[in-house]
Amino acid sequence: MIPRVSAIALLAVRAAIRSRMVLTLAALLLLALAGLPGWMRGDGTAQGLFTLLVGHTLGVCLFLLAATSLWAGCAAVAAERSAGTATLTVVKPVRPFELWFGKWLGIMALNVVLLGAVVVGLLLQILLRAPELPGDWQRCDRVVPCILPDPAQEADQALRTLRAEGRLPANRPVTTLRAELIQEVRNRYTLIQPGETQTWRFRLPPCADGIAPTVRAVFETQYGLREESAMTLCAQAVQPSHSEAAFTIHETLMAGEPLVRALPPFTSASGGLIEVAFQLDPGARTPLLLHPGRNLALLLPDGSFGRNLVYAALILLAVLSALTACGLALGCCFSFPVASFAAVVLILLALLGSRATADATDLAEARGLGERFGLQIVRCAGSVTRPLVSAAPITQLTRREAIPLRSLGQPLWIGFLALPALLAWGSARVLKRRENGA
């Protein structure tokens, strides 16, 4: 099996190199790496340049690699079939799975090399322009979200209250109502009126002793007004309680801009609880809104940019692996033009699906069998692609948020093993039944 698979993989690599696909892609990647930061204008800040260098450049490179992976996957089998070369391969003692796996391996080998080159090129760019970047660009922070009540529990509590008060709508199924309530809880903003104080708690991870945490919050105003507001931030260790007084500081913030404030190390302890309170100045003209799930976090220094980049590259590679597998599966099922068209549809479906799964009420509200069926397909696609799409780590890299090691598990499992294995199994069955070559 190994000589056959490696021969097929080598053939895929040779095909890509000699068809000049790799050369063209390498030229485009080089252009994105070297040209984009010079061509695009940042916002003039050091962080803006960092975002441009890392986020935009890596984003463009990922797009190029993703599109090429999908296309190369489609071409690897479908184009061979239309050229007739597949006939000579399938009369040899090659199992359909070996053919599929060999092609996947070949394209992934190219992806590894190209993504590796992109990562090295990006690091070189960053090192070259280090003086213009934030002083602590190498630092990464671990994000500790605030403790929030379980949306399902809150929804159940609300349902119980409605039932007790006899206000439960008779014309809506309870499951639909529950899903709506959960969604509502998830999307809920906290309103802080002038003079009002809102408090949130954070559970610190182990090994946080003596590490100075940083609070990051993005406040918004109604209608997106950009206004300056004065605010008092108060932080203290609740568990274990600390003898020192609470840390208090007055801030002036701009709505929509992140408020980032370092707290003294005494507030932090391994596995401890920190309480952070925000009091809006009584003289403030408008109330502020905060989405605690999305826009409030405690940051703890954790790891380096280099480690983050390696983790991010692994996740991106898993995404490319999944796309290659999808391309190969399409190439096995359809002719090259149809497979290419289906690939575009697949990308749209994946993007739609990754959003659709986030909104559980869609399906409940769907009217008619057609709508329900369509949504079900989108949701199924999303349940597979969402872990990959949501794990896209470029945002975390640009925000210098540490990518936890455990968060690699799901994308790597889906991208490298589950999805390719499932698609390989399906493709092998299609190839076995197909007449006149693979």
Partner 1 sequence: MTPVIETTGLRKIFRDFWRRPTVCAVDSLNLTIQPGEVFGLLGPNGSGKSTTIKMLLGLLHPTAGTVSVLGRPPADIVIKHRIGYLPENTHLHRFLTPRETLHYYGALFGLDRRTCRERGEALLEMADLTEVADRPIDGFSKGMARRVGIAQALINAPDLLILDEPTSGLDPVACREVKDLVRALANDGMTVLMTSHLLADVEHVCDRVAIMHRGLVQAEGAVDDLLVRADTTRFLIANLSDAEAEPLRAELAARLNRVVATDHPTVSLETYFLDVVARASGKASALTHFRPAPFLHKTGIGGAATESAKRESA
Binding site for partner 1 (CB under 8 A): 3-4, 6-8, 10-11, 14-15, 18-19, 83-85, 87-95, 435-437
Half-sphere exposure of 262 (CA within 13 A, CB side): 7
Residue 40 or 83 having the CB closest to partner 1: 83
CB of 7 to partner 1, least distance (A): 3
Cβ atoms of 103 and 325 within 8 Å: the answer is no
Task: For residues 371 and 430, give the distance between their C-alpha atoms in angstroms, rounded to a whole number.
Answer: 29
Cβ atoms of 218 and 248 within 8 Å: the answer is no
Burial 404-417 (b: 16+ CB within 10 A, else e): eeebbebbbebbbe
Task: Give the SS3 label for residue 357.
Answer: coil
Residue 280 or 431 having the CB closest to partner 1: 431
CB of 432 to partner 1, least distance (A): 8
CB of 55 to partner 1, least distance (A): 37
CB of 9 to partner 1, least distance (A): 10
Residue 65 or 79 having the CB closest to partner 1: 79
Q: Mention every residue, 6+ apart, whose C-beta is less than 8 A from residue 211.
A: 265, 268, 300, 301
CB of 340 to partner 1, least distance (A): 21
CA 87-89-93 angle, to 5 degrees, is: 125
CB of 334 to partner 1, least distance (A): 14
Task: For residues 402 and 298, give the distance between their C-alpha atoms in angstroms, rounded to a whole number.
Answer: 12
Q: Mention every residue, 6+ apart, whose C-beta is less than 8 A from residue 184.
A: 155
Task: For residues 354 and 374, give the distance between their C-alpha atoms in angstroms, rounded to a whole number.
Answer: 14
Q: Is the peptide bond before 240 cis (omega within 30 degrees of 0)?
A: yes
Strand partners of residue 192: 288
CA 39-43-47 angle, to 5 degrees, is: 100
CB of 99 to partner 1, least distance (A): 10
CB of 90 to partner 1, least distance (A): 7
Residue 87 or 193 having the CB closest to partner 1: 87
Residue 82 or 232 having the CB closest to partner 1: 82
Residue 110 or 284 having the CB closest to partner 1: 110
Task: For residues 291 and 81, give the distance between their C-alpha atoms in angstroms, rounded to a whole number.
Answer: 53
Residue 90 or 280 having the CB closest to partner 1: 90
Half-sphere exposure of 281 (CA within 13 A, CB side): 13
Residue 372 or 434 having the CB closest to partner 1: 434
* Amino acid at site 88: L
CB of 328 to partner 1, least distance (A): 18
Residue 84 or 337 having the CB closest to partner 1: 84
Integer-rounded Cα Rg, in Å, for the chain is: 26
CB of 88 to partner 1, least distance (A): 6
Residue 3 or 166 having the CB closest to partner 1: 3
Quickly list H helices, 302-418.
305-333, 336-356, 361-365, 368-390, 394-398, 409-412
